[in-house]
């Protein structure tokens, strides 16, 4: 079934090209250090005391003349009866809250992105995880007169497929100091604890938010509400908030732009390698052998997710001994009362729910859950390609959106279809032309549905609101290893994050990706990117960067130069170019590509481009699939392509 490896690609999303770490270098020691490093408690700084809505907090003095505050609660712990409910208000505290140590990540299967001790196969974190972190320039307190100038706020949403990840993996002292902004990051619920649509819970809900299944997105909205109430105490301007995020964080950015509940809570947005995919409520609940009609995709018949809420429930019944097998469990569910179903679900530990969800999919590193559910309240029922075509249907704010040139090479480097392993560990590309051609096809998924189509729709619907596109091309990873990293990984998924944070040794902790010879170019490109991001946060247009010394970044348009290419000076630097991939162009390429010699392979590529992927399925055309390239694909059930990703 096609969804069994729906996120083989998202191995790259979750681990930011980390699949290569185990196979390319002897970096186990580095990973072990990351896995076991204790969480540091900083020394409290009296000058950092702030009074917020719930009480007083004290932070610490960080580098670059910044103050930091870690682990401030922005919502009540979503535990016990608050699991699968919208976030609730925080209780006030009377003692000074020491915000000097980061809190546990939200419950998840361990990867190093959790930034917490663990090993492969562990479930780590806590359901009590709704906390945020802040960094602010120190000069606001050293010079009291400067407190009259409120700084822009940049709220970061971490990636990880909405399944793994942690706010504490990223620190904001560099961007806060260098761009003169208040940096905020937050945790939000993940996996089946963050997105879960089950009819028994839905019918028992007392609010539309509780019934939505979109708990992770509601957490982010609650964080933005907290910013509106409290950020002035840290020198921030609640009327000038930019949300930005990468991968799943970029996908959640599109969710915020679409959600009426987020209206007025942010004023600019940046989506880095985001996805415009949303899911129907049916796909998030139904069994995988149940078909439903997707009215927004040619009335095509589609199926429930392999780890939908009903699949999880059935697996639990088998695990608990209530049913002997999955077929029996499905029959039992149809006869159970809502009260009984809800009781079983709430009685399970977070670890059990995560492990059951994992057991239902073939991709064990990052088992994606159905997410960004079109419930009709938190998110409209229409998919984004219809929603963003209408002027008054979404939160129209200035946006930067873009992706990396070779997004999927990270996943392809672990795919035996494209790569063989010398001595069992060293990847070698089997066919370099094939490798590059499919990398180009796969990159089109990110750039067309997550950038150019969204920019086209928004620009047409609200031409007065500027959209800015980019493509990140940096690929100067070392090429003197036993493998050629520039060729194998290229400008892979997640590489731009270190440039945005100007952190090549801390946050991402992948030092082997950055050789000494690339240092000058890296620093120059990082400065340029940060200045564009900072200028955008200050006034809604990246322009010539914060210091007004860079090439002008102009708004997206269908003709002429329409994106900013971000590359090192040695490879042309940062400059405007024309780049406009589209789903239609990709379909035509698949239909006419003579290098695709197997019709089954052509059908498979069409499916993985437009139906079964992390990317939008809004452009799936079942009729075109049935007649693809004159020969058609009717004999191939699109869901039959096991191991597709």
Q: List, for residues 298-313, the tens digit of each pLDDT value.
A: 677 889 999 999 999 9
| Crossing angle for the helix pair 599-610 and 583-592, to the nearest 10 degrees | 170
> Which residues lie closer than 8 Å to 526 by C-beta, 6 or more apart?
498, 499, 500, 502, 504
Mean pLDDT of the region 318-343: 96
Q: Where are the alpha helices (DSSP H) in 540-616?
A: 583-592, 599-610
> Which residue from 264, 297, 281 is spatially nearest to 394, judged by alpha carbons?
264
For residue 4, pLDDT over 90 is answered with no
> Which residue from 362, 419, 312 is spatially nearest to 642, judged by alpha carbons?
362
Pairing of strands 55-58, 97-98: parallel
And the tokens for 294? 């997707």
Spell out where 34-181 has E strands. 50-52, 55-58, 60-62, 66-73, 97-98, 108-109, 123-124, 131-137, 151-157
Computed on alpha carbons and rounded to an integer, the radius of gyration of the chain in Å comes to: 24
Residue 514: what pLDDT? 84
Element (H, E) at 387: helix 384-387
Per-residue confidence band for 40, with pLDDT thresholds at 50, 70 and 90: confident
Residue 507: what pLDDT? 52
And the tokens for 452? 């150019």
Mean pLDDT of the region 262-285: 97
Q: Rounded distance, CA 492 to CA 16, Å?
A: 8
Residues in the chain, total: 645
pTM recorded for the entire structure: 0.93
Alpha-carbon dihedral angle through residues 142, 144, 149, 151, given to the nearest 10 degrees = 30
Contact 496, 522 (CB under 8 A): no
Q: Rounded distance, CA 415 to CA 409, Å?
A: 10
Paired with 246 in beta bridges are 272
Residue 371: what pLDDT? 96
Q: Rounded distance, CA 62 to CA 506, Å?
A: 14
Q: Determine how many CB atoms are found less than 10 A away from the CB of residue 644.
A: 22
Q: Rounded distance, CA 83 to CA 96, Å?
A: 28
pLDDT above 90 coverage of the chain, percent: 79
Of 6-20, 437-451, 536-550, 551-565, minimum mean pLDDT range: 6-20
Residue 369: what pLDDT? 87
Element (H, E) at 203: helix 199-204
Residue 242: what pLDDT? 98
Residue 31: what pLDDT? 42
Pairing of strands 279-280, 373-374: parallel
Most confident of 114-123, 206-215, 421-430: 206-215
For residue 248, pLDDT over 50 is answered with yes
Paired with 46 in beta bridges are none
- The 10s digit of each residue's pLDDT in 548-604 is 999 999 999 999 999 999 999 999 999 999 999 999 999 999 999 999 989 999 999
For residue 21, pLDDT over 60 is answered with no
Per-residue confidence band for 25, with pLDDT thresholds at 50, 70 and 90: very low
Residue 423: what pLDDT? 74
> Which residues lie closer than 8 Å to 410 by C-beta, 6 or more apart?
11, 12, 16, 17, 19, 20, 489, 492, 493, 494
Pairing of strands 268-272, 182-186: unpaired
Of 1-15, 183-197, 255-269, 274-288, minimum mean pLDDT range: 1-15
> Which residue from 1, 21, 5, 4 is spatially nearest to 410, judged by alpha carbons?
21
Q: What is the mean pLDDT of the chain?
A: 90
Q: Rounded distance, CA 411 to CA 377, Å?
A: 35
Range 38-67 burial, b when 16+ CB lie within 10 A, else e: eeeebebbeebebebebeebbbbbbeeebb
Mean pLDDT of the region 528-557: 97
For residue 613, pLDDT over 80 is answered with yes
Q: How many degrees, rounded to 5, is the angle at CA 591 between CA 585 and CA 593?
A: 90
> Which residue from 179, 178, 183, 186 is spatially nearest to 154, judged by alpha carbons?
183
Per-residue confidence band for 508, with pLDDT thresholds at 50, 70 and 90: low
For the chain, the straight-line distance linking the first and the last C-alpha, in angstroms and rounded, comes to 11
Mean pLDDT of the region 10-30: 37
Q: How many degrees, rounded to 5, is the angle at CA 582 between CA 577 and CA 588?
A: 120
Element (H, E) at 290: none
Residue 644: what pLDDT? 33
> Which residues lie closer than 8 Å to 484 by C-beta, 6 or more apart?
none
Residue 295: what pLDDT? 80
Residue 257: what pLDDT? 98
> Which residue from 607, 616, 611, 618 is spatially nearest to 450, judged by alpha carbons?
616
- The 10s digit of each residue's pLDDT in 122-142 is 999 999 999 999 999 997 654
Paired with 272 in beta bridges are 246, 402
Longest dimension (CA), the chain: 73
Per-residue confidence band for 11, with pLDDT thresholds at 50, 70 and 90: very low
Of 156-160, 449-453, 620-624, minimum mean pLDDT range: 620-624
Mean pLDDT of the region 391-415: 94
Per-residue confidence band for 430, with pLDDT thresholds at 50, 70 and 90: very high
Most confident of 268-272, 474-478, 494-498, 591-595: 268-272
And the tokens for 437? 């051609």
CB < 8 Å & 24+ apart, contacts of 319-328: 319/352, 319/356, 320/344
For residue 111, pLDDT over 50 is answered with yes
- The 10s digit of each residue's pLDDT in 61-101 is 999 999 999 999 999 999 999 999 999 999 999 999 999 99
Per-residue confidence band for 27, with pLDDT thresholds at 50, 70 and 90: very low
More confident residue, 16 or 637: 637
Residue 112: what pLDDT? 87
Contact 217, 379 (CB under 8 A): yes
């Amino acid at each position: 079934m096609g969804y069994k490896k729906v996120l083989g690609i998202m191995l790259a999303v979750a681990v930011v090209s980390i699949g290569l770490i185990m196979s390319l270098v002897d970096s186990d020691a580095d990973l072990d250090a990351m896995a076991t490093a204790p969480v540091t408690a900083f020394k409290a700084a009296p000058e950092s005391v702030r009074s917020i809505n719930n009480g007083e907090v004290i932070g610490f003095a960080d580098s670059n003349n910044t103050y930091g505050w870690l682990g401030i609660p922005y919502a009540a712990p979503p535990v016990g009866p608050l699991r699968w409910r919208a976030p609730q208000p925080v209780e006030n505290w009377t003692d000074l809250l020491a915000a000097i140590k980061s809190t546990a990540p939200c419950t998840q299967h361990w990867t190093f992105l959790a930034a917490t001790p663990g090993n492969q196969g562990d479930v780590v974190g806590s359901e009590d995880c709704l906390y945020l972190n802040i960094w602010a320039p120190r000069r606001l307190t050293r010079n009291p007169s400067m407190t009259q100038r409120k700084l822009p706020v940049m709220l970061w949403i971490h990636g990880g497929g909405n399944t793994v990840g942690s706010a504490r993996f990223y620190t904001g002292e560099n961007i806060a100091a260098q761009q003169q902004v208040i940096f905020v990051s937050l945790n939000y619920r993940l996996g089946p604890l963050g997105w879960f649509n089950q009819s028994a819970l839905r019918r028992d809900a007392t609010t539309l938010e509780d019934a939505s299944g979109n708990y992770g997105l509601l957490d982010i909205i609650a964080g933005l509400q907290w910013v509106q109430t409290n950020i002035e105490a840290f020198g921030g301007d609640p009327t000038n908030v930019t949300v930005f995020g990468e991968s799943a964080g970029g996908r959640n950015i599109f969710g915020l732009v679409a959600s009426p509940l987020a209206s007025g809570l942010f004023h600019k947005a940046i989506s880095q390698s985001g996805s415009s995919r949303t899911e129907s409520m049916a796909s998030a609940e139904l069994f995988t052998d149940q078909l439903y009609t997707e009215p927004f995709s040619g009335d095509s018949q589609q199926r429930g997710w392999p780890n939908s809420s009903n699949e999880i429930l059935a697996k639990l019944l088998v695990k608990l001994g209530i049913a002997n097998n999955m077929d029996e469990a499905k029959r039992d569910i149809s006869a159970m009362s809502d009260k009984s179903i809800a009781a079983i679900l709430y009685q399970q530990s977070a670890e059990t729910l995560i492990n059951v969800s994992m057991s239902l999919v073939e991709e064990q590193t990052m088992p994606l859950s159905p997410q960004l559910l079109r419930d009709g309240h938190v998110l409209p029922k229409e998919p984004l390609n219809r929603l963003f075509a209408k002027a008054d249907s979404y939160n129209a704010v200035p946006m930067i959106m873009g992706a990396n040139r070779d997004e999927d090479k990270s996943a392809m480097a672990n795919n035996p279809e494209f790569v063989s392993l010398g001595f069992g560990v060293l990847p070698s590309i089997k066919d370099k032309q094939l490798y590059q051609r499919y990398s180009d096809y796969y990159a089109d998924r990110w750039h067309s549905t997550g950038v150019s189509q969204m920019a086209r729709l928004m620009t047409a619907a609200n031409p007065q609101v500027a959209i800015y596109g980019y493509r990140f091309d940096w690929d100067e990873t070392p090429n003197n290893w036993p493998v050629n990293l520039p060729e194998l990984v290229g400008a892979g998924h997640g590489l731009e994050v270190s440039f945005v944070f100007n952190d090549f040794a801390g946050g991402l902790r992948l030092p082997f990706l950055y050789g000494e010879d690339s240092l000058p170019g890296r620093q120059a490109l990082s400065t340029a990117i940060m200045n564009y991001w900072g200028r955008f946060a200050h006034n809604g247009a990246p322009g010539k960067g914060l210091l007004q010394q860079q090439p002008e970044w102009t708004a997206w348009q269908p003709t002429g130069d329409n994106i900013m290419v971000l590359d090192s000076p040695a490879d042309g630097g940062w400059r405007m170019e024309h780049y406009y991939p589209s789903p239609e162009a990709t379909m035509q390429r698949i239909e006419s590509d003579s290098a695709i010699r197997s019709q089954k392979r052509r059908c498979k590529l069409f499916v993985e481009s437009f139906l079964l992927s992390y990317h939008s399925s809004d452009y799936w055309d079942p009729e075109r699939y049935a007649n693809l390239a004159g020969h058609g694909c009717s004999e191939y059930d699109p869901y039959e392509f096991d191991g597709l990703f």
